[in-house]
Structure 1
Amino acid sequence: MGSASSTLTQYDIEDVQEHCNNLFSQQEIISLYKRFCQLDRNAKGFISADEFLSVPEFAMNPLLLKMVDGLNFKDFVVFLSAFSPKASTTQKIELIFKVYDSDYNGKVTFRDIMEEVLIKVMEEAGYSKDSSLLLDDFVKILDHPGLKMEVEVPVD
């Protein structure tokens, strides 16, 4: 698996499969390798965050970009395995944790999460860090079908 232009051997495929906890079949790994080679425009053997931006699903989430900068193929597959339907909830949560563990110390502070989430929500709603919010703005940001503010009141 030296350069991105080389082909995968059966040993490489099995090694990558084991590295990603068998969340991808051998055929899926071959397909991912082809995609990796397309992203690795200069055949360096790794992809940069800029190259990863060409994947629309990931370009929409800049928080993930710091995690993908400089990934080799094996790490690329491991990263994508968290998005597999076969991945457990724990595996998906571990990826989210890594996104917020910006200094890679194994800890995420409440402030880190709240700042990142709030900034993202505000930006998606079209506001900048210098914006002020009126009640109508606040409603625009928070009014969506997933918002649940309900309390069940027991009736005797």
Structure 2
Amino acid sequence: MGNAPSTLTQYDIEEVQEHCNKLFNQQEIVSLYQRFCQLDRTAKGFISSDEFMSVPEFAMNPLAQRLLKMVDGLNFKDFVVFLSAFSAKASIEQKAALIFKVYDSDGNGKVTFNDIIEVLSDMAEQRE
């Protein structure tokens, strides 16, 4: 599922469900796929940071720049996994893992004072 197929097969849906720990049902995955295809305007099979920024709710998020580093170039399966952390069905551990990634700006597995300063700096730039 590197490039986005025009439609999802039952096998594709089940594969994505497994990939996201079954946090989304079949109907939700089809809906997410439709949204993914809308965002992937050039049908290249992944969503660029510019395409993510076309979503007003994403663009005005104070953490948008931090999130862009995580989402730029996501294919459909990874897009669903990313969104699964926002699901009401996601465990606190899944939600915490996403939050940790947002604040671990250098990706070293630790959130340091410098990481937090960088995140705050990104947020200040977003407001300007």
User: Which TM-score band (shorter chain)?
Assistant: 0.7 to 0.9
> 2:25 — aligned with what?
25
Contact map agreement 1:47 1:70 (CA 8 A) in 2? yes
Aligned pairs for 1:3-152 (under 5 A) are 3-60=3-60, 61-117=64-120, 120=123, 124=127
Q: Which digits, 9 at most, give the CA deviation of each residue in 1:48-70, with x for residues without a partner?
A: 01101122222122221111100
Q: CA RMSD in A?
A: 1.9
Q: CA deviation at 1:45?
A: 0.4
Q: Which has the larger radius of gyration?
A: 1
Give aligned-pair identity as a percent: 75
Residue 75 and residue 27 in structure 1: after superposition, are their counterparts in 2 closer, same or farther (change >3 A)? Answer: same
Give, in angstroms, the shift of residue 119 of structure 1.
5.3
In structure 2, the CA distance between the partners of 1:118 and 1:2, relative to structure 1 (3 Å rule), is closer
Q: Which structure features the higher share of helix residues?
A: 2
In structure 2, the CA distance between the partners of 1:87 and 1:79, relative to structure 1 (3 Å rule), is same
Deviations 1:108-156 (A, max 9, x none): 21221134236526864x6xxxxxxxxxxxxxxxxxxxxxxxxxxxxxx
Aligned residues: 125
Gaps of 5+ in 1: 127-156
Distance 1:87 1:51, change over 3 A: same
- TM-fit CA distance, 1:3: 2.7
Counterpart of 1:89 in structure 2: which amino acid?
A: I
* TM-score of the aligned structures, taking structure 2 as reference length: 0.86
Contact map agreement 1:58 1:65 (CA 8 A) in 2:
no
Superposed CA offset, 1:83-106 (max 9, x none): 111112221111011112233222
Local SS of the residue matching 1:75: helix
Contact 1:46 1:70 in 2 (8 A): yes
- 1:140 corresponds to: none
- Cα distance between partner residues in 1 of 2:113 and 2:30: 40
